[in-house]
């Protein structure tokens, strides 16, 4: 069994290289750090020493461990000084020609059994490996930024990568304390590919004026539990960086519609609005904080209050319908199904997918769950309003509402829905009409991209979920969340978007559709991307 080599070298002393060097020396390897810029190398050595001291003060490791790690870290002023390494990790800037040249030079310096790893996040490992004299020893080791803190390492095999190179990369990641997953060589590998819709779908929502950028971010934070909204994240990473990645995806895929860059972002980059680093992006950072803090979630739902005992009818056999029945009853509403209502006049009707077997929904203001179409498609010109939320629903979870085209929808329905969700402790946001509204569109597209990736063998369902949680700080695994929502709900949103937009970018992944057709719907049937009991086959995985 291969282990982490006793000597590990890092070529490139920027932010990523510095973080990787810290990980290597802490893991017990003699660590050689090289950069052609002597000042950059000196700064990196100082940064690692400072980080080791801070970690000891915070109890992440002992002072003795910090001192021992610092002794293991050594500067290498030339590439030739990296000759003793059993593994060299290049962390050069994202230039294919530069990385190829670097691997070519390293091939002449290190021993024939030394593994060469590239930390590229946007280039094909196969393309980078073409610069080495023996491409079978080149492997992708994609660390996530900041490398010392993010718990994930993505190991990527190029076309020629050998098993020993893969084994050394995995063992090194494990020694560094990382959760190691495998990803296939392709645009974005596994994790960054799956996350593409988080920014791209948000950009489409903004372009279509479904909501403004601040509202989209707030919905993602309070409705989905994401630590940052997509526009905040784009500003943090750099709008120009994200645009370059989008163009790379689109080019490498020969024009895949799901990955088409946004003209909106192209204009922003041309205008120099690149995010925090320029002082302005989607937000303005010149005067400090770009937004107010979100309110804390209530410890207990407010309760129905004056509406205690009011009849709320919830139709449908969806996951969300059952949650609304339970939550409504828990705070004091008389929550019933249409059959149980027996014709009584309700305070509010929540239609979450009424079936032909349900009695007619009438006699009270109505809100339609927009999981199978927009409000315009489901209730054109009617008096209902639309709503959407994703399970699991709990106090503090934001619910989206819409009136449909030209403000259609009765004031009575709007008022009743707002009062009902307030009683559950759920804030609301009013947005323009669309299938899935804001969060539903973004999350269903994340699920769809993950389903494409798993179906194509880019990674397994388990690796997808481990990747987005440990590499991107998502609040939960995206495919486990899909099982919780119900895969029929996800497919319904996607099919409705495809029909209304007539766009290829919303076509459902074949794997997702097959799961629904085979009645593997997730929580509703006990099996979806994952078996309910945690045992059984894990879908997908690199070939």
Cβ(427)–Cβ(222) below 8 Å: yes
What's the CA gap between 541 and 173, in Å, rounded? 19
Cβ(226)–Cβ(475) below 8 Å: yes
Among 154, 201, 323, 400, which one carries the catalytic annotation? 154
3-state secondary structure of 143: strand
3-state secondary structure of 138: strand
Enumerate residues 6+ apart whose C-beta is below 8 A from 365.
347, 348, 349, 383, 384, 410, 412, 413, 415, 416, 417
Beta-strand ranges (E) seen in 114-231 are 115-118, 138-143, 152-157, 179-184
Among 119, 192, 195, 448, which one carries the catalytic annotation? 192
Q: Answer yes or no: 121 catalytic.
A: yes
What's the CA gap between 243 and 280, in Å, rounded? 16
Cβ(428)–Cβ(488) below 8 Å: no
Q: Answer yes or no: 262 catalytic.
A: no
How big is the CA angle at 348 (ends 344 and 352), to the nearest 5 degrees? 105
Alpha helices (H) in 253-318, listed in sequence order: 263-270
Q: Output the DSSP codes for 426-485.
A: --EEE----TTTTHHHHHHHHHHHHHHHHHTTSSBHHHHHHHHHHHH--SS-HHHHHHHH
Q: Answer yes or no: 142 catalytic.
A: yes
What's the CA gap between 493 and 381, in Å, rounded? 21
What's the CA gap between 32 and 87, in Å, rounded? 10
The two three-digit tokens of residue 395, written as one number: 């106090």
Q: Answer yes or no: 195 catalytic.
A: no
Among 34, 107, 119, 142, which one carries the catalytic annotation? 142
Among 121, 195, 262, 374, which one carries the catalytic annotation? 121
Point out the residues that are catalytic.
Answer: 121, 142, 154, 192
């Amino acid at each position: 069994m291969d282990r982490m080599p006793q000597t590990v070298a890092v070529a490139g002393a920027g932010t990523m290289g510095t973080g990787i060097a810290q990980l290597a020396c802490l893991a017990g390897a003699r660590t050689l750090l090289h950069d052609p810029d002597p000042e950059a190398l000196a700064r990196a050595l100082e940064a690692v020493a400072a980080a080791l001291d801070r970690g000891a003060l915070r109890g992440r490791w002992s002072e003795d461990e910090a001192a021992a790690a610092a002794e293991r870290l050594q500067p290498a002023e030339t590439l030739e000084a990296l000759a003793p390494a059993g593994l060299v990790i290049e962390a050069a800037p994202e230039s294919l020609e530069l990385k190829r040249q670097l691997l070519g030079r390293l091939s002449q310096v290190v021993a024939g059994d030394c593994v060469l790893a590239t930390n590229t996040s946007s280039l094909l490992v196969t393309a980078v490996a073409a610069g080495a004299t023996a491409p079978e020893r080149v492997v992708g080791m994609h660390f996530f930024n900041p490398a010392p803190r993010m718990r994930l390492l993505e190991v990527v095999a190029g076309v020629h990568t050998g098993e020993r190179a893969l084994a050394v990369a995995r063992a090194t990641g494990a020694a560094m304390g990382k959760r190691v997953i495998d990803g296939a060589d392709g645009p974005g590998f596994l994790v960054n590919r799956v996350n593409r819709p988080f920014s791209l779908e948000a950009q489409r929502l903004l372009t279509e004026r479904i909501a403004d950028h601040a509202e989209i971010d707030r919905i993602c934070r309070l409705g989905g539990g994401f630590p940052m909204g997509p526009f905040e994240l784009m500003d943090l990473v750099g709008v120009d960086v994200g645009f370059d990645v989008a163009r790379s995806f689109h080019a490498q895929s020969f024009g895949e519609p799901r990955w088409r860059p946004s003209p909106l972002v192209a204009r922003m980059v041309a205008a120099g609005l690149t995010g925090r680093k320029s002082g302005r992006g989607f937000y303005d950072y010149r005067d400090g904080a770009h937004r107010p803090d979100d309110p804390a979630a209530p410890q207990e739902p407010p309760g129905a209050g004056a509406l205690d005992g009011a009849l709320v009818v919830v139709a449908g056999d969806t996951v969300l319908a059952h949650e609304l029945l339970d939550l409504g009853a828990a705070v004091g509403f008389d929550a019933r199904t249409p059959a149980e209502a027996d014709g009584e006049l309700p305070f509010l009707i929540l239609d979450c997918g009424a079936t032909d077997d349900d009695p007619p929904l009438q006699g009270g203001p109505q809100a339609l769950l927009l999981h199978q179409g927009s409000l315009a498609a489901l209730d054109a010109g009617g008096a209902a309003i639309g709503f959407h939320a994703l399970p699991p629903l709990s106090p503090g979870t934001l619910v989206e509402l819409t009136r449909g085209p030209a403000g259609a929808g009765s004031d009575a329905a709007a008022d009743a829905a707002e009062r009902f969700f307030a009683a559950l402790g759920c804030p609301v946001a009013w947005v323009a009409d669309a299938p899935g509204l804001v969060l539903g569109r973004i999350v269903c597209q994340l699920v769809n991209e993950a389903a494409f990736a798993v179906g194509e063998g880019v990674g397994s369902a388990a690796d997808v979920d481990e990747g987005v949680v440990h590499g991107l700080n998502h609040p939960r695994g995206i495919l486990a969340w899909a099982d919780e929502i119900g895969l029929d709900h996800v497919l319904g949103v996607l099919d409705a978007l495809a029909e209304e937009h007539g766009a290829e970018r919303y076509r459902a992944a074949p794997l997702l559709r097959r799961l629904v057709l085979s009645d593997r719907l997730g929580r509703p049937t006990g099996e979806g991307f994952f078996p309910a009991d945690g045992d059984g086959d894990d879908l997908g995985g690199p070939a």
